């Protein structure tokens, strides 16, 4: 049999091996290779699998099983067997290169680099940019942490992705590696760039006026002077909750990894504190709020895993038409100026690109002093964790996300600084999708307090996509709990809101439609909104 194998007489090898009453693992291996040379992939898989079961500690069977799966275009199975081979021998150059290639062909460059880097691949010969991009070439060059004539390392790609995102002008982009005959690669950057009011007249109109059904517009002008200087705004003329929010941000010293920002927020709101957004729910307190805020911040992107931000805020508030009822107290309605120090940090704790799983965590602090008589000091702390998993080796067919958040306030905080759990466009991201935070246009029908826990679980399925329009939908479960200075603002009950959500994205503008059922009150909430850039809390 060995002579026939050496002479590449594959049919005779198969005939001889199949006639054996029993086969050793070595014979199974040679038989599997012979089947593969004859293109009999199912038989090759079966022979190699028998050998692997007899000798699970030998990497050769796993490597060849990966080769069979690769020839059958079964990239997920090929990756599975190669990972098993590398658990037996992490330094195997052939297996590392092979696995990197599998992920590269699957469109997962991050995972490909994890294994290619072990064999000093891929070497970048040249870096090419889309010639239609308007942003200054110097700024774009500095966004790339890797350069030609060197090996592209995984941390460099991660840092590049963070800097491109920080510019705020690329809603989507891709970095392709085109192989050369000498084994090197050309890196090609392609992106859709938002310039001025948007990428085209229709996209600009859609982005600006998407909030008209709820009396809101979102004027924005991006990439001023081709330097990623971005202006965002929100104008809402709802008679119960008027708001004007303005934001200006830009790279610092033309370095995309550093960014400064200024923001202003003006509010004129009517509040009516109730226990529910529907049904019989008497008013437990009411007020009229006027608030003005000016803030400045500086954000640094330290590599691709860590981001930190420092800033300050000056605000002024007045309260009128106050009906204290059982929910409000004088200590909550202290008017006057407040000065605040802002700090936050976000880090990617875990990244398994081969599994397409990430885990991010963050924390923020707001230390504030109210300039009044008497003055008050309070500390507002928040923490969060976000896990995201895309099952499968490629594509976006399914997505699972789990987000955990918690916050607390130490000291006496003004009423408008308290947390709120519920659905309210642009004014809170603490979503309990079975609770609407407004009733008759007035805020106050959601749990309000100085400490919260919130869990948001989602399982989305991509139902349709054609490159311009995509539709995702799936079930959700929100679990929350709010503590408050008094029971009129919120009880300490645990809240459970199962439901379903759909997201329709058109030219990078996303419409969110959700249904949630509040198991505590039995209420049902149907809500629609347009996802827009983050605004001040």
CB atoms within 10 A of CB 23: 17
Task: Give the DSSP per-residue string, 253-312.
Answer: TTEEEEEEEEEEEEEEEEEEE-S-SSSS----EEEEEEEEEEEEEEEEEETTTEEEEEEE
Name the class of domain 201-531: mainly beta
**Could you report the per-residue pLDDT of 171-227, keeping only the tens digit for each?**
888 999 999 988 899 999 999 888 888 777 888 888 889 889 889 999 999 999 999
Q: Are 417 and 380 in contact (CB under 8 A)?
A: yes
pLDDT at position 284: 93
Q: What percent of the chain has pLDDT over 70?
A: 99
Q: Are 167 and 160 in contact (CB under 8 A)?
A: no
**φ/ψ (deg, to 5) at 151:** -80, 130
The CB-side HSE value for 103 (13 A sphere, CA atoms) comes to 24
> What torsion, rounded to 10 degrees, do the Cα atoms 33, 36, 40, 46 define?
50
Displacement of CA 192 from its chain's centroid (Å): 19
Cα angle at 171 between 168 and 175, to 5 degrees? 100
Closest to 488 (Cα-Cα) out of 430, 435, 448: 448
Instruction: Cite the residue boundaries of each domain of the chain with CATH code 3.10.20.310.
Output: 123-192
Element (H, E) at 179: strand 172-179
Instruction: Cite the residue boundaries of each domain of the chain with CATH code 1.25.40.10.
Output: 2-119
CA distance linking residue 537 with residue 259, whole number of Å? 20
- What CATH code would you report for 2-119? 1.25.40.10
What's 118's DSSP letter? G
- β-strand pairing of 229-236 with 241-252: antiparallel
What residues pair up with 426 in beta bridges, in sequence order? none
Q: Are 118 and 142 in contact (CB under 8 A)?
A: no
Q: Are 68 and 34 in contact (CB under 8 A)?
A: no
> What torsion, rounded to 10 degrees, do the Cα atoms 430, 434, 439, 444 define?
-40
Q: Are 377 and 359 in contact (CB under 8 A)?
A: no
CA distance linking residue 166 with residue 160, whole number of Å? 10
pLDDT at position 405: 98
Burial of 239 (C-beta count, 10 Å sphere; 0-12/13-18/19+)? exposed
CB atoms within 10 A of CB 56: 12
**Could you report the per-residue pLDDT of 228-286, keeping only the tens digit for each?**
999 999 999 999 999 999 999 999 999 999 999 999 999 999 999 998 999 888 999 99
What's 56's DSSP letter? T
Residue given tokens 């895993």 in the structure block: 305
Q: Cite the DSSP H helix spans in 107-200.
A: 109-116, 137-143, 154-167
User: Was domain 123-192 assigned CATH 3.10.20.310?
Assistant: yes
**Could you report the per-residue pLDDT of 487-525, keeping only the tens digit for each?**
888 888 999 999 999 999 887 788 899 999 999 989 999
Q: Is the pLDDT of residue 467 over 80?
A: no
Give the confidence band of 535 by pLDDT, cuts at 50, 70, 90.
Answer: very low
β strands within 193-254, DSSP E: 216-217, 220-224, 229-236, 241-252
Helix (H, G, I), strand (E, B) or coil at 354: coil
Instruction: Cite the residue boundaries of each domain of the chain with CATH code 2.40.160.50.
Output: 201-531
What's 330's DSSP letter? T
**Could you report the per-residue pLDDT of 421-464, keeping only the tens digit for each?**
999 988 889 999 999 999 999 999 999 999 999 999 999 999 99
Query: Angle at which helices 93-105 and 75-88 pack, to 10 degrees?
Result: 160
pLDDT at position 532: 60
Task: Give the DSSP per-residue string, 2-47.
Answer: HHHHHTT-HHHHHHHHHT-SS--HHHHHHHHHHHHHTT-HHHHHHH
**Could you report the per-residue pLDDT of 307-359, keeping only the tens digit for each?**
999 999 999 999 999 999 989 988 889 899 999 999 999 999 999 999 999 99
pLDDT at position 164: 94
CA distance linking residue 430 with residue 349, whole number of Å? 22
- Mean pLDDT throughout 7-28? 88
Burial of 486 (C-beta count, 10 Å sphere; 0-12/13-18/19+)? middle
CA distance linking residue 494 with residue 421, whole number of Å? 12
Closest to 451 (Cα-Cα) out of 380, 363, 369: 380
Residues listed for the chain: 537
What residues pair up with 148 in beta bridges, in sequence order? none
The pTM assigned to this predicted structure is 0.90
């Amino acid at each position: 049999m060995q002579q026939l194998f050496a002479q590449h007489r594959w049919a005779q090898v198969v005939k001889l091996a199949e006639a054996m009453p029993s086969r050793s693992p070595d014979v199974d291996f040679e038989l599997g290779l012979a089947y593969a040379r004859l293109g009999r992939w199912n038989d090759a898989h079966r022979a190699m699998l028998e050998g692997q079961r007899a000798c699970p500690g030998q990497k050769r069977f796993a490597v060849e099983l990966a080769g069979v799966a690769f020839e059958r275009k079964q990239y997920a199975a090929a990756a599975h067997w190669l990972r098993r081979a590398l658990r037996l021998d992490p330094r195997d150059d052939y297996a590392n290169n092979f696995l990197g290639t599998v992920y590269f062909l699957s469109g997962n460059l991050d995972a490909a680099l994890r294994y290619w880097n072990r064999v000093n691949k891929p070497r970048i010969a040249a870096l090419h940019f889309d010639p239609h991009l308007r942003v200054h070439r110097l700024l774009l060059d500095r966004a790339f942490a890797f350069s030609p004539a060197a090996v592209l390392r995984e941390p460099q790609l991660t840092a590049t992705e963070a800097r491109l995102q920080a510019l705020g002008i690329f809603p989507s982009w891709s970095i392709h590696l085109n192989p050369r005959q000498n084994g090197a690669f050309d890196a090609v950057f392609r992106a859709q760039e938002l310039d001025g009011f948007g990428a085209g007249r229709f996209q600009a109109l859609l982005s600006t006026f998407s909030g008209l059904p709820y009396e809101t517009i979102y004027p924005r002008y991006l990439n001023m002077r081709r330097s990623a200087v971005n202006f965002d705004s929100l104008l809402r003329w709802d008679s119960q909750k008027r708001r004007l929010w303005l934001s200006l941000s830009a790279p610092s010293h033309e370095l995309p990894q550093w960014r400064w920002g200024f923001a202003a927020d003006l509010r004129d709101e009517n509040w009516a504190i109730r226990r529910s957004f529907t049904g019989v729910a008497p008013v437990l307190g009411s007020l009229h709020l006027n608030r003005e805020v000016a803030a400045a911040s500086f954000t640094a992107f330290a590599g691709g895993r860590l981001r930190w931000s420092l800033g300050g805020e000056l605000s002024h508030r007045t309260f009128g038409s106050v009906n204290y009822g059982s929910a409000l107290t004088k200590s909550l309605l202290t008017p006057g100026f407040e000065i605040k120090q802002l700090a936050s940090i976000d880090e990617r704790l875990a990244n398994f690109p081969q599994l397409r799983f990430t885990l991010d965590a963050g924390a923020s602090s707001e230390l504030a002093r109210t300039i009044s008589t008497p003055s008050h000091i309070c500390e507002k702390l928040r923490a969060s964790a976000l896990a995201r998993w895309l099952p499968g080796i490629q594509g976006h067919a399914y997505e699972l996300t789990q987000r955990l958040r918690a916050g607390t306030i130490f000291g006496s905080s003004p009423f408008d600084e308290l947390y709120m759990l519920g659905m309210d466009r642009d004014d809170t991201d603490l979503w309990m999708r079975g609770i609407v935070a407004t009733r008759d246009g007035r805020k106050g029908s959601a749990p309000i307090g100085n400490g919260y826990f919130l869990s948001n679980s989602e399982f989305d399925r991509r139902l349709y996509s054609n490159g311009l329009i995509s539709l995702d939908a799936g079930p959700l479960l929100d679990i929350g709990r709010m503590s408050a200075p008094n029971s009129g603002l919120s009880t300490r009950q645990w809240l459970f809101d199962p439901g379903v959500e759909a997201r329709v994205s058109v030219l990078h503008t996303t419409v969110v439609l959700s249904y949630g059922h509040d198991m505590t009150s039995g209420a049902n909430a149907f809500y629609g909104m347009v996802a827009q850039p983050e605004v001040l809390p």
